[in-house]
Amino acid sequence: MLRTYAEVKQAISSGDTVMSILEGYLSAIEENKDLNAFLEVFENSARLQAKLVDEKITNRTAGRLAGMVIGLKDNMCYKGHKVSAASKILLNFESLFTGTAVERLIAEDAVIIGRLNCDEFAMGSSNENSAFGPVLNPIDKTKVPGGSSGGSAAAVAAGLCTAALGSDTGGSIRQPASFTGTYGMKPTYGRISRHGLIAYASSFDQIGPFTNSLEDAALLLEIMAGTDDFDSTTSSKPVEKYTNFQTERKTKVAVIKESYEVEGIDAEVKGTLDKTIEALKAAGHTVEFVSFPYLEYMVPTYYVLTTAEASSNLSRFDGVHFGHRSESAKGVEETYKKSRSEGFGPEVQRRIMAGTFVLSHGFYDAYYTKGQKVRRVLQNKTNEIFEEFDMILLPTTPTPAFDLNALKDPISMYLQDIYTVHANLTGNPAISLPIGKHSNGLPFGIQVIADHFKEKEMFEFSNVLEKIIAN
């Protein structure tokens, strides 16, 4: 199956049609139904799009993504198509508009193939929290694909589409990318519009791509990025030519010393990072260890703040204004209680309750206000690092993918985000590169974090890093 856009373009130049390429992906999806990556395949609309793109190719009017087949995480709005955030509370809900990021891809003639399974309302690190069943890791079907964008990662890893979109609130793109051997990128907060993304935690959420090549990730960011009147948090900073990699630059890289001291880090993950550091030094780059003494506070801070925002954002799904309405409820209060109890799964309920507690009278200052102060400390310390260094290098995950149903304790699951929440708390861009392979055959990633709006430099360094590791 065609795994990169370069392969798609080569196939088209050799005489294949976008329709034939689409049909190949549709067949692959059918053959891999057991992965449970797709919640719905948009066969009819995808075929219509493919036909139009083929006509544009013939007329030489096709856009920059002509023939790229893309899947959408099931929390992104696409007009006339269902979107559920993998939750029963939004079962059969059909979007009335298309989100900005998706709209920009379609404008460049990408073909949208379907919606992809995820943890309910993007809350999870394993894709076991979906109301529609877990997603399996295509590398090893006994393992999780990571979460919350597990369906997106699995689809790209299995070659069921050329690329996919995910959302990243605390690592929900990068962690599954690491577990599936794909590229997963979270841009700077405000680089891509959140318009049309069902909110989990609005000051953290960002849309980003899953791909099988660094070039494809850069291209998709280039097209989706930019200001948007529908999202006031988007930046007016110019969108750079991310696909124009320059490899001559020597880079000064920081490695967070405390990342080596995380309990449970796999020896081979650590060893790969060591080898990467030595390879960078040998190639003339500067690599130094720096202290980041707040690593242990990141996950608690993240969950205090995100659950608070989730409590607020998800209050709209109450069976009256929005979402599933209980058929057995009598009266307004009972409608609220039963509709939300029936519609939300256990993890979503857990986070709503935690967030409501954090925001409650008497605890607001003790938890939410303090969490925001800690977030500022983390931001300031990160800014200090980038005053001296160009990039931060660290593992994406402590281990490769773990077994399905292995982590029953919510706290153990939350700690899977130990390396990824950093970039969400501070708003920095970050990418997971598939440059590690465990002795058990499972892939794992190495993560690069850059300064705000330095995506171009991040891609350039990642390109250099891949070449160094390959040699």
Provide the percentage of residues in the chain whose pLDDT is more than 90: 90
User: Considering the chain, what is the average pLDDT of its residues?
Assistant: 96
406 pLDDT exceeds 80?
Answer: yes
Tally the domains of the chain: 1
- Give me the mean pLDDT over the 128-149 stretch: 98
Per-residue pLDDT band for 308 (boundaries 50, 70, 90) equals very high
Residues above pLDDT 70, as percent of the chain: 100
Q: Is 298 a residue whose pLDDT tops 80?
A: yes
Q: What does the pLDDT look like over 367-381, one tens digit per residue?
A: 999 999 999 999 999
Distance between CA atoms of residues 81 and 83, nearest Å: 7
pLDDT higher than 90, residue 446: yes
Distance, in Å, from the CA atom of 281 to the CA atom of 129, rounded to the nearest integer, reads 42
Query: What range does the domain containing 18 cover?
Result: 1-471
**pLDDT attached to residue 415:** 81
Please report the pLDDT score of residue 230 as a whole number: 98
Query: Is position 315 annotated as part of the catalytic site?
Result: no
**Is pLDDT at 248 greater than 80 in this prediction?**
no
Tell me the per-residue pLDDT of 180-229, one tens digit each, with 9 for 90 and over.
999 999 999 999 999 999 999 999 999 999 999 999 999 999 999 999 99
pTM above 0.85, yes or no: yes
Q: What's the pLDDT tens digit per position in 216-231?
A: 999 999 999 999 999 9
Which of 148, 149, 213, 311 is catalytic? The answer is: 148
pLDDT for position 263 = 85
Mean pLDDT for the stretch of residues 108-115: 98
Per-residue pLDDT tens digits for 56-71: 999 999 999 999 999 9
Q: At what angle do helices 214-224 and 455-470 cross, to 10 degrees?
A: 170
| Residue 25: predicted pLDDT | 98
pLDDT tier for residue 408 given thresholds of 50, 70 and 90: confident
> What CATH number has the domain bearing residue 282?
3.90.1300.10
The closest alpha carbon to 420, from 125, 167, 170, 144, belongs to 170
Q: Specify whether 82 is catalytic.
A: no
- In the residue annotation, 241 being an active-site residue is answered as no
Predicted confidence (pLDDT) at residue 471 exceeds the cutoff of 80: no
pLDDT recorded at residue 360: 95
Question: What is the band of 247 on the pLDDT scale with cuts at 50, 70, 90?
Answer: confident
Q: Which among 167, 172, 213, 311 is annotated as catalytic?
A: 172
Kindly name the residue from 73, 143, 186, 456 that is annotated as catalytic.
73
pLDDT in tens, 150-184: 999 999 999 999 999 999 999 999 999 999 999 99
